[in-house]
Amino acid sequence: MKSNLFLGQLKARGKNVEWLITQMSKYGIKISYSTVYKKLRGETEFTAVEIKTISLVMNYSKEEMYDIFFDELVS
């Protein structure tokens, strides 16, 4: 995951992790602040449902989602 890219995009939109958590909860995804940061640091990974929800909240295209959350394409 490209955490710095993701956090930069979040900040560029005037948003923060707390905003992200609130938006994710609207889609039924309950996640704590500390859990998000563990995932951003690479200690654990975002689940597929979390990635899909973040992409929806951030209005990412499929390409943007892959670029941020996956290091390389698997064929």
Q: Using one digit for the tens of pLDDT, what is the confidence trace for 54-75?
A: 999 999 999 999 999 997 655 5
What is the model's pLDDT at position 60?
A: 97
Find tokens 């994710």 and name the residue: 24
> What pTM was estimated for this model as a whole?
0.88
Q: Three-state DSSP class for 3?
A: helix
Report d(CA 17, CA 36) in Å as an integer: 8
Helix, strand, coil tally for the chain in percent (to 5): 60, 0, 40
pLDDT tens, per residue, the chain with 75 residues: 999 999 999 999 999 999 999 999 999 999 999 999 999 999 999 999 999 999 999 999 999 999 999 976 555
